[in-house]
Structure 1
Amino acid sequence: MRRDLPYALGGLVLGGLLLGNAALTPDAATVGALDVALVAAMAVAVAACRRYPVVALGVVTVAMLAVHIRVRPGVSAAFPVLGAVYIAGWRGHRVAAATASLAFLGGFLARDIWSRPATGPARLIVDWTALMLGWFVAANIAGLVARQRRAYLEQVEQRAIEAERTREEMALRRAGEERLRIARDLHDSLTHSISVIKVQAGIAVHLARKHGEQPSATLLAIQEASSAAMRELRTTLDVLRAPEDAERVGLARVDELAERTRAVGVPVRVTVTGQPRELPDEVDQAAYRVIQEALTNVARHAGPATAHIHVEYAPAQLTVSVTDDGQASPAHPVTPGVGLRGMRERVTGLGGTLRAAANDDNGFTVRAEFPVGGPDRTAPSRAVQPAQRVAGSQ
């Protein structure tokens, strides 16, 4: 309806102009009720000419011819017809616009010739006719040009959309090819190395048990870590080959991650507060990776230390933190490595914040906050149950 408002206002303005001109023209007849009704019909038709250009053009042409024949208000009767002709031509109805133009010009000229005495100035009629003929030709051409310009702009817009779609398809295809290349490289190199470690650790455990000895905790941890690394590597390869179908890690596997860390000699305590709920896949996976990288850093750099994992669910935010009581100190700032940079990129890429710094009383804390904006009912459930739980250290 708002798009029709300018046309309705235009019809009212043209109607007022027409009635005012009829009142001021010396040789115009008195405006009667029928003439006002004809002007009102013209205004309504102009208001509807965007939706029904041909019907509106016909109504405006007939109404203005009738007003010109009855009242003879001068050239002001041609203005609504000119506007309707332009709109009809702009909407692609060129034949209707040309026919209405000829009909109105013919009726207008016939009325002037019939009403003017034979001795009157015929040159004035010729001048008016030439002037109005120029107006109607210009209105038809302007409508045609406006339609061609709109078609050109639509074509340009469509080409831009098609070009953007083509670029996106090419980018997706190149990304898919790159993922496949990385997957092949990982499979050919890293998978083989981890498989060797896993097999050798398994053989060592088997031989120890065969000789009646208890395998060392370190050897068992190597065997478990290599098995977990193989599982995660296979998952990563599945993601690279078919990212839509691969199973992704998330907070539901924090206990498993903590158990693997305990197996390498680092006591870990897990605390979950708030009401666990379904999370978007990207946030769920990023939170798990932050905890995983932080625990790896504890095992590698903290020395003899205990780690505390804290997962906190808030209405609009997820917070995960890993705190240890190891050797880090504010007096010796940690130089960010690849792991910390990767964590920060994951978190900030999802609109979150990451803090990684030494504690005042020694130790180190990694804290990541993710905005989630409420439950995501479409994401698969990866929440840790129950709502509040503390797993004791080992």
Structure 2
Amino acid sequence: MNTATRTKSAAWAGGVCYLLMVGLLIGGAPRASGTVHGVGGLLAVSLLVGVVRRTPLSALAIALTGSTVVIAGVPSPAHAAVEASYQGQFVSYLAVDLVLGVIVATRARRPAIVAVAVTSAVQLLVIGLFAHGDGLTVNAVIALLALAASCLGGLLSRERREHVVALRAQEVAEAVTAERLRIARELHDIVAHSIGVIAIQAGVGSRIIETRPAQAREALRAIETTSRQTLTGLRRTLVSLRRADREDRAGTADRADRDDRVARTSTAPEEPPSTPAPGLADVEQLAATTAGAGVHVDLRRSGRQRALPAEIELSAYRIVQEALTNVVRHADTGRCGVAIDYGDEELTVEIVDEGRGRTGGGSGHGFGLVGMRERVGLLHGRLTAGPRPEGGYRVAARLPLPAPASLAAEAR
């Protein structure tokens, strides 16, 4: 017998025991007061916990039947003076109200409405038959209040659960959107610069291939080098995405599935190791590639150069890369300047050219500038980009740096 079958059997055994306890309560103490019978019926409902968890509607039917038997089994008092002590048997209906609250909280609207209607009708009918005198009105009002309280509690529990589910769905959607934006920024920054350089080199090579074949060969070599670098960057991005997907699936799978997956893939060829993400140390190579595209880069560093967090290094590199791409494609100039300042509290990256700047429909309003603003915003920095009064274009990013103590902790 498996675990599910044992659990189901135990739940229904509890339901049978509840009915037996109700029978013993009535048959074993027929002369006891109604309050004793009512409290006994209320406590006996704890045996229905298993049934409530599996089939709340069945649990409601059993509890309603048992509570009604308790009320009907109490004999009428011989003297009116002790009649009040026999009206307490209606306490057993509180157990029915608890089960009803679970149904309202966990079941669909239509079954819940039917359950509320049936329960209220049965309770009011039984109270009308077995309550006497002033107790009729009092017990009816108490029963209605208890029903309302149980339904209200169930509705609040349902709303809270639905709110939690909605929040989780929103968090998942926001995480997916953020990841898509990150991938879009990374792919744009990887491809846009390289394609711009390749396009310029291809144009130069096609014009001089017959008159200056040596320079044409240099342009082809630059195209080959840039293409390989682009492929490396794309491979690094894809490998990181596959690794993240594999880790996510491994976190949701059970241990047996993970062991089986490891056994199946133990002889498979390993993926090539991913190259580290670019950083400020790679700006020189970026400047050399840009020079090969016809734009000389004057690179200047200032401040105390030191290792920075990977996300700051990558964002700064991508900002320089995108700005140089725009210079190559739109500035129509042969020179530009890149200044990197390692401050105590922030890293400043500035790219300045003396070209013609951007037009209203140019790249300054495209995805490149949007990506730069998103990168800087994620790091709580500031970005300024626009034409200079003296001519040309300027892009400046200020990225706040963590305290030295936190950097030392990361280094350890």
TM-score range, shorter chain: 0.3 to 0.5
Which has the bigger relative contact order, CA under 8 A and spacing at least 6?
Answer: 1
Q: Which has the higher helix share?
A: 2
Taking structure 2 as the reference length, what is the TM-score of the superposition? Answer: 0.42
Q: Give the TM-score, by structure 1 length.
A: 0.44
